Structure 1
Amino acid sequence: MKKLGILFCTALIIASCSTSHNKNAKKHVTDYAKTITENELKEMLYTYASDDFEGRRTGESGQKKAIEFIKKHYVDNRIPSPIADGDYFQEIPEDFFNGKAKASENVVAFIKGSEKPDEIVVISAHLDHIGVSQNGDINNGADDDGSGTVAILEIAEAFKAAEKDGNGPKRSVLFLHVTGEEIGLFGSRYYTDIDPIFPLANTVANLNIDMIGRVDPKHENGKNYLYLIGSDKLSKELHDVSEAVNKKYVNLELDYTYNDENDPNRFYYRSDHYNFAKNNIPVIFYFNGTHADYHRPSDTPDKINYKFLETRTQLVFHTAWELANRDERVKVDLKAS
């Protein structure tokens, strides 16, 4: 009986360990993607694109409120800055703006990679907009680029959740909110040309989000879609990764109309990814296209398609996750033009 008791206890311990292991088994990437929700995106965007932020014009009081909002999110979620403890602002002096704006700030936060911390995936969006019109109307910029801003905040939360579970990314991920986009891509140019916090040579890719909350006239009454620009300009491998990730996880309709070299809109040169691309860093620019409210006071949060925004944000997260965790960084095939 004594021997049987010992065997019984041993079996219980093994079973207990097995149960404990199952409870603590690593979650799948889809579990973290599901933390990105339309309700949280909506709640944040209704604040970020409210009249209180005065259109977020570079260097003005509304833009200062915007950077504090972003910083608070990172502090509350215990996502650190790569600059110094508690210092989330990359200061840009007034003279850098060539008379177009007062001194301003990029906002930066990051998740340190567990295996290849010196290799960086940059996820960017611009935090500024065009401010108040001469007649006093506030240009809230809900889509441009409030949608990209809150998308990054949700993506950062998803990566943080993974890190808390011991499942953090192998490479570091930098969350880069740039200022001065509307007046000439100043914030991203300051980061790439003047003060790259991480060496550009170590930057694996830039995923840039600029307007992903609306539907343009071409896609009305259709399925969820997104324009992708630049994915194959420097790295065929990045394009292939992007396509595979989309097919596996979210299956959006990916539209490459604006990726055409002959596109008269020249969107490839008009958002912050370009300052990375000109330095031979592979990029993807995520974009929903223009609409009637583009750069008007009517670009308000009530017009955002939050279900579409949720899925589009999840696509960027999945792509960043793959880039941060694959064995080898994506290869650069071509030189910047």
Structure 2
Amino acid sequence: MKKILILAIPAVLAACSAQNKKVENADAMDYANTITASELKEHLYTFASDEFEGRETGEPGQKKAAEYLKKEYKSLNLPSPIGGDDYYQEVPTDYFKRGKVKPTENVVAFLEGSEKPDEILVISSHYDHVGMNDKGEIYNGADDDGSGTVSVLEIAEAFVQAKKDGYTPKRSILFLNVTGEEKGLVGSKYYTDNPIFPLENTVADLNIDMIGRIDPSHEGKEDYIYLIGSDKLSTDLHELSEMVNSKYTKLNLDYTYNDENDPNRFYYRSDHYNFAKNNIPIIFYFNGTHADYHKPTDTPDKIEYELLAKRAQLVFLTAWEIANRDARLVVDKAEDTAVGK
């Protein structure tokens, strides 16, 4: 018995040492590099397959997609912030103002921070799409927003690997896959109206909606991503975002759609906006629209997987900096909630 205890001591000490590593000593790029084109492709060929029937809100395909996400989070040993085996935040049907929608749910997973666990960084995507048409054609939604959803899974896996190596982020991270975006940003509205964690403790939302394709404006100069909203509420966030990209990914950050006068009004058209309305700093990552947008031809074979990986790495690295900086992001501007309504 004494020998067993003596042998166990080094293992205990090693475990304690791993838990006490300073996250500042980690190389964030080591973990960003775990986000790979091959793993994103494997996820997306399942998630945007015909089996999921276009993931229409409340329909069987969306339920299968929710189960897929839950299974993946459980495989990463990421707990639910709700508790137990319940990874679903139920969204009441009366939240939907357009037509009858069956019961549906956001999918949530949580990584608790090591030093500032009450401060929450949200990384979001919507996992619903538009289902099928009258001819039975399936809208697979590989880019919209399968690309964002599988990126959230890979980002979660990267943070889990860092934690395994002893580098738990200082702040907590909520991985939030929302339902009902295609029905009017309903899932994210429900979350911000009924937050699992207080909104005043939510430091930022990084929202990923369509990052797997190249739009016509960038053909021949593909190494880009549109950023929307980074400077709307927090100069801190915008400068951090620019620094991260300059240091690591060196993508062309295109702010075309960040213009207040942009006729597309994309700032108001994805789930980050429900956070921005509550004065929570946001970044919306977007590749622009293309000929397959909201068509049955938005399929996984058309995704640029190496570019998708690089864009997802940018989101991860930005999240890493937000989660591990000493001070939370300063909100030095205020959202005019009347705008865009």
Deviations 1:177-210 (A, max 9, x none): 00000010000000001x1001000000000000
Shift of 1:248: 0.3
* Separation in structure 2 between the aligned mates of residue 103 and residue 97 of structure 1, nearest angstrom: 10
**Equivalent residue, structure 2, for 1:42:** 41
* Separation in structure 1 between the aligned mates of residue 275 and residue 26 of structure 2, nearest angstrom: 32
SS of the residue 1:109 aligns to: strand
**Equivalent residue, structure 2, for 1:64:** 63
**Equivalent residue, structure 1, for 2:175:** 175
What is the correspondence of 1:294-309 to structure 2 with a 5 Å cutoff? 294-309=293-308
Letter in 2 for 1:188: S
* Separation in structure 1 between the aligned mates of residue 205 and residue 134 of structure 2, nearest angstrom: 35
* Separation in structure 2 between the aligned mates of residue 295 and residue 256 of structure 1, nearest angstrom: 23
Letter in 2 for 1:123: I
* Separation in structure 2 between the aligned mates of residue 257 and residue 191 of structure 1, nearest angstrom: 29
* Separation in structure 1 between the aligned mates of residue 151 and residue 331 of structure 2, nearest angstrom: 27
Flag structure 2 segments of 5+ consecutive residues without an equivalent. 1-13, 337-341
Letter in 2 for 1:55: G
Deviations 1:69-117 (A, max 9, x none): 0000001111111100211000112222234411100000011000000
- Taking structure 1 as the reference length, what is the TM-score of the superposition? 0.92
Greater Rg over alpha carbons, structure: 1
**Equivalent residue, structure 2, for 1:317:** 316
* Separation in structure 1 between the aligned mates of residue 74 and residue 222 of structure 2, nearest angstrom: 36
**Equivalent residue, structure 1, for 2:52:** 53
* Separation in structure 2 between the aligned mates of residue 329 and residue 168 of structure 1, nearest angstrom: 17
**Equivalent residue, structure 1, for 2:148:** 148
Contact 2:129 / 2:139 at 8 angstroms: preserved in 1?
yes
What is the correspondence of 1:85-124 to structure 2 with a 5 Å cutoff? 85-98=84-97, 99-124=99-124
Contact 2:214 / 2:222 at 8 angstroms: preserved in 1?
no
SS of the residue 1:182 aligns to: helix
Flag structure 1 segments of 5+ consecutive residues without an equivalent. 1-16
**Equivalent residue, structure 2, for 1:265:** 264
Letter in 2 for 1:254: L
Count of residues in correspondence between the two structures? 316
Contact 1:212 / 1:288 at 8 angstroms: preserved in 2?
yes
Matched, 1:217 2:216: yes
**Equivalent residue, structure 2, for 1:241:** 240
* Separation in structure 2 between the aligned mates of residue 259 and residue 45 of structure 1, nearest angstrom: 28
Query: Structure 1's 81 and 34: CA in aligned 2 closer, same or farther, altered over 3 A?
Result: same
Structure 1 segments, 4+ long, off by >2 Å, are: 24-27
* Separation in structure 2 between the aligned mates of residue 235 and residue 142 of structure 1, nearest angstrom: 31
Shift of 1:34: 0.8
Matched, 1:74 2:76: no
**Equivalent residue, structure 2, for 1:14:** none
Letter in 1 for 2:101: A
**Equivalent residue, structure 2, for 1:331:** 330
**Equivalent residue, structure 2, for 1:160:** 160
- Taking structure 2 as the reference length, what is the TM-score of the superposition? 0.91
Shift of 1:27: 4.1
Shift of 1:237: 1.0
* Separation in structure 1 between the aligned mates of residue 104 and residue 203 of structure 2, nearest angstrom: 27
Contact 1:213 / 1:306 at 8 angstroms: preserved in 2?
yes
SS of the residue 2:175 aligns to: strand
* Separation in structure 2 between the aligned mates of residue 249 and residue 111 of structure 1, nearest angstrom: 24
Identity of matched residues, %:
69
Shift of 1:44: 0.3
**Equivalent residue, structure 2, for 1:11:** none
Letter in 1 for 2:200: A
**Equivalent residue, structure 1, for 2:184:** 184
SS of the residue 2:107 aligns to: strand
* Separation in structure 1 between the aligned mates of residue 327 and residue 26 of structure 2, nearest angstrom: 23
* Separation in structure 1 between the aligned mates of residue 36 and residue 220 of structure 2, nearest angstrom: 23
Contact 1:100 / 1:183 at 8 angstroms: preserved in 2?
no
Deviations 1:242-284 (A, max 9, x none): 0000000100000000000000000000000000000000000
Matched, 1:202 2:208: no
**Equivalent residue, structure 2, for 1:283:** 282
Letter in 1 for 2:264: N
Shift of 1:223: 3.6
* Separation in structure 1 between the aligned mates of residue 40 and residue 183 of structure 2, nearest angstrom: 26
* Separation in structure 2 between the aligned mates of residue 300 and residue 117 of structure 1, nearest angstrom: 39
Shift of 1:165: 1.1
